[in-house]
Amino acid sequence: MPKIIVRRLEREDLETRVAWFNDPSVYGQMTIDIPVSLAGTEEWFSQNRLNRSRADFCFFTQNEEGAMSRIAMCGLVDIDLHHRRAELYVVVNPQMTGRGIGKTAVQWLCNYGFSELNLLKTYLFTVPQNQRAQHLYERTGFVLEGILRQHVCHRGRFTDRCVYGILRDEWSEQQWRDECVVKLEVPT
């Protein structure tokens, strides 16, 4: 696999973010209102750029010639340093699913949250029909903590939400904890 680089989400990523979120394979697995607009996403970005309760990232591959391609956008939201927890989300380029990118992003975000933010817990939500993601989360060490019944309106119907979590102690036992090394680019 080519070299993977992570950096904070930037304004130049928003057009791609909108395209991915409007892809049926993405919005069908998320509880978002569609269509997602570029203007709305730019407003969201401006409002959240300095929000310390979230950390949004963009993952890239870099080929041997140095060309960069976006492969995932992900982050930790609702970061609560008092309670030492955060919610994780991942969106993989719809043209690149099934290649281990989501797994790498989840592992990197857990490492970031537990190592850099000193979290005690990382959690996430998914819809019951997103079984592919649920298997990924379980293989990564997340535990199904419960199901919130008829919790959100998803694609015109009320649906359940599955809640998954991983605790710091569970993360520390994961073999991938030390193997998942992705470079974080820090702007100078």
* Contacts of the segment 144-150: beta carbons below 8 A, 24+ positions apart: none
> In the prediction, which pLDDT does 181 show?
60
pTM for the predicted model, two decimal places: 0.89
Structure tokens at 160: 């359940």
> In the prediction, which pLDDT does 31 show?
67
Q: How confident is the model at residue 1 (pLDDT cuts 50, 70, 90)?
A: low
- What is the 8-class DSSP label of residue 23? S
* Beta-bridge mates of residue 39: none
Q: What is the pLDDT of residues 118-151, one digit of tens each?
A: 999 999 999 998 899 999 999 999 999 999 999 9
Q: What is the pLDDT of residues 32-68, one digit of tens each?
A: 666 778 898 899 999 998 899 999 999 998 877 878 8
Average the pLDDT over 152-162 and give the result: 86
6-to-153, 180, 185 alpha-carbon distances in Å: 32, 12, 6
What is the pLDDT of the chain when averaged over all its residues? 88
Residues 6+ apart with CB under 8 A from 132: none
CA 45 to chain CA centroid, nearest Å: 16
Which CATH architecture is the domain 3-185 placed in? 3-Layer(aba) Sandwich (3.40)
> In the prediction, which pLDDT does 188 show?
38
61-to-83, 100, 166, 180 alpha-carbon distances in Å: 34, 13, 27, 15
> In the prediction, which pLDDT does 78 show?
97
Candidates 122, 38, 141, 127; CA nearest to 74 is 122
Task: List the chain domain ranges.
Answer: 3-185
